[in-house]
Chain A
Amino acid sequence: MVNLQPYASPSYFIIIGLCLLPIIVGLYHGKRFVAYETLFSLVFIVLTFGGDHWHQGVALIGYVLYQLLIVGGYARYRRRNNQTSVFVAAVVVAIVPLVVVKVTPAIQVGSQSLLGFLGISYLTFKAVQMVMELRDGTIKAFQPLPFLRFLLFFPTISSGPIDRYRRFEKDYRTAPERAKYLQLLNKAVFYLFLGFLYKFVLGYIFGKLLLPEVAHAALLQRAAFFHTGLSLPLLGYMYTYSMYLFFDFAGYSLFAVAISYLMGIETPMNFNRPFAAHNIKDFWNRWHMTLSFWFRDFIFMRFTFFLMKHKLVKNRVRISQCAYLVNFLIMGFWHGVTWFYIVYGLFHASAIIINDYWLRFKKRHQGLPHNRWTEGLAIFTTFNIVCFSFLIFSGFLNVLWFK
């Protein structure tokens, strides 16, 4: 049986384009063919998780049934009761499969958990979000089918962007008006071509052509600078990898958003010119936005709210610092249980804490100069700090130092 990885080859785009035609014609006439869309989504999920990936398909089915049970069960419970312990238990149980998948390779080196499949993180974000919103009462009724549709929305199933249930449901319940849909089509076509440029041209140049070259050159410099390996080629690796990471992931995200738009669903954007950020805080409002906003809303804000409400920590500066540490440490662990992902998290937590000190200093000293030179310096500094964090993230230092 065939297997088709999302957005990986020209044939994928041709097949998806043809299968989308009835949906596009329908939406143009203000109709959403729910039955066809469901069938079409199922076919693409089978293509992604079938064939020689069948074991992932089995893991996916098991995972979905498991989450259906937890979220459905919690919704049922929440109608009458609202104990904090049950809420916490529901969240913990919902993330257990992801934790197992992330921890397994760290314990048994080189082995992957049988529970794993492409996109498990992104499905977990959606499921946990449901539990939290049920707790808040912003989602009142639990309906299995819309939940499944949200969880398994195939354009975003493998790597996001991470949508929100209520937003998604609202889009899905109606068909956009024609003028609006034409706008979406327009944008979708633009995003598709921009995505091709990003992922298949620029991502390819940086990732496939340049990266192996600079990696090789950097590895030859292991003895440089007192055997730390710090060398010009390593600097080259840092910038090349950063460009590759951005164009590859932003390209993918553009595809996911474009295909969603064609289906009349306004999946949120993931990137907003991240390298134009003038500080680290600004950077996280522009880079992998659906992830950082998810962390902001479901971890950072909830954690600070908890600390302040129960007056566990008095000083508000300390509170925000604790929350940044927790937030970015979890993000680090989420990327994977390796030293470099965890250091990447700690690095960003430290950077944003220092950033906050600076912002408070600026507030107290209103007379500081502000012009296009200081703005340029801010953008330049932020860019380099971010690229350095991506060098940590890349895992290349692990190869350079320990392999």
Chain B
Amino acid sequence: MDTKQTIIAILQDITGADVSDDLDQNIFDSGLVDSMATVEMLLELQDQCGIDVPISEFDRNQWNTPNKIIEKVASMQ
């Protein structure tokens, strides 16, 4: 599975919503992802993608759409 599929699957798993039809939606503004879901996501990224994002590295503005997350993760792998 490529990064894009993995991220979509992780987000689906955590939020119960399929984000693949709009990868530029703001996941924080819509309330889809909150602090709790963020932590779950960071743990999943650690497990499934092998990247380590410390909480203080996590700036909401840089991670607020599925596309931005995919880009971030790809750049860190």
**Are A137 and B55 within 8 A (Cβ)?**
no
- Which B27-51 residues have C-beta < 8 A from chain A? 31, 34-36, 38-40, 42-43
- Which A232-251 residues have C-beta < 8 A from chain B? none
Chain B: CB-nearest residue to A309: B43
Q: In whole angstroms, how far apart are the Cα atoms of A228 and B56 in the complex? A: 46
Chain A: CB-nearest residue to B57: A138
Q: Which of A297, A308, A359 contacts B31 (CB 8 A)?
A: A359
Q: In whole angstroms, how far apart are the Cα atoms of A138 and B55 in the complex? A: 9
Q: Which of A305, A316, A320 contacts B55 (CB 8 A)?
A: A305
Query: Given the complex, which residues of B lie within 8 Å of A133, measured CB to CB?
Result: 56
**Are B39 and A132 within 8 A (Cβ)?**
no
Q: Which of A297, A302, A304, A309 contacts B36 (CB 8 A)?
A: A304
Q: In whole angstroms, how far apart are the Cα atoms of A305 and B40 in the complex? A: 8
**Are B36 and A138 within 8 A (Cβ)?**
no
A346 is an interface residue with CB less than 8 A from chain B: no
Q: In whole angstroms, how far apart are the Cα atoms of A139 and B26 in the complex? A: 28
Query: Given the complex, which residues of A lie within 8 Å of B34, measured CB to CB?
Result: 281
**Are B55 and A301 within 8 A (Cβ)?**
yes
**Are A136 and B38 within 8 A (Cβ)?**
no
Query: Given the complex, which residues of B lie within 8 Å of A309, measured CB to CB?
Result: 43
Q: Which of A137, A301, A359, A363 contacts B39 (CB 8 A)?
A: A301
**Are A308 and B16 within 8 A (Cβ)?**
no
Q: In whole angstroms, how far apart are the Cα atoms of A296 and B59 in the complex? A: 12
Interface secondary structure of B, over-half rule: helix
Our count of residue pairs bridging A and B at CB distance below 8 angstroms stands at: 39
Beyond A359-B31, A363-B16, whether A320 also contacts B54 by CB under 8 A is no
Interface secondary structure of A, over-half rule: helix
Beyond A305-B39, A305-B43, A316-B40, whether A136 also contacts B54 by CB under 8 A is yes
Query: Given the complex, which residues of A lie within 8 Å of B31, measured CB to CB?
Result: 281, 359
Q: In whole angstroms, how far apart are the Cα atoms of A31 and B39 in the complex? A: 41
- Which A117-154 residues have C-beta < 8 A from chain B? 132-133, 136-138
Query: Given the complex, which residues of B lie within 8 Å of A297, measured CB to CB?
Result: 55-56
A323 is an interface residue with CB less than 8 A from chain B: yes
Query: Given the complex, which residues of B lie within 8 Å of A300, measured CB to CB?
Result: 35
Beyond A281-B34, A363-B16, whether A308 also contacts B56 by CB under 8 A is no
Q: In whole angstroms, how far apart are the Cα atoms of A315 and B36 in the complex? A: 12
**Shortest distance in angstroms between A306's beta carbon and chain B's nearest beta carbon?**
9
Query: Given the complex, which residues of B lie within 8 Å of A359, measured CB to CB?
Result: 31
Chain B: CB-nearest residue to A137: B54
Q: In whole angstroms, how far apart are the Cα atoms of A119 and B43 in the complex? A: 36
Q: In whole angstroms, how far apart are the Cα atoms of A300 and B34 in the complex? A: 11
**Shortest distance in angstroms between B64's beta carbon and chain A's nearest beta carbon?**
13
Besides the contacts A136-B57, A308-B43, A363-B16, what 12 more A-B pairs have beta carbons closer than 8 Å? A136-B54, A136-B55, A281-B34, A300-B35, A301-B55, A302-B55, A304-B35, A304-B36, A304-B39, A308-B39, A323-B36, A359-B31
- 20 sampled A-B residue pairs with Cβ under 8 A: A133-B56, A136-B54, A136-B56, A136-B57, A138-B57, A281-B34, A296-B35, A301-B35, A301-B55, A302-B55, A305-B39, A305-B43, A305-B55, A308-B39, A308-B43, A316-B36, A316-B40, A319-B36, A320-B36, A363-B16
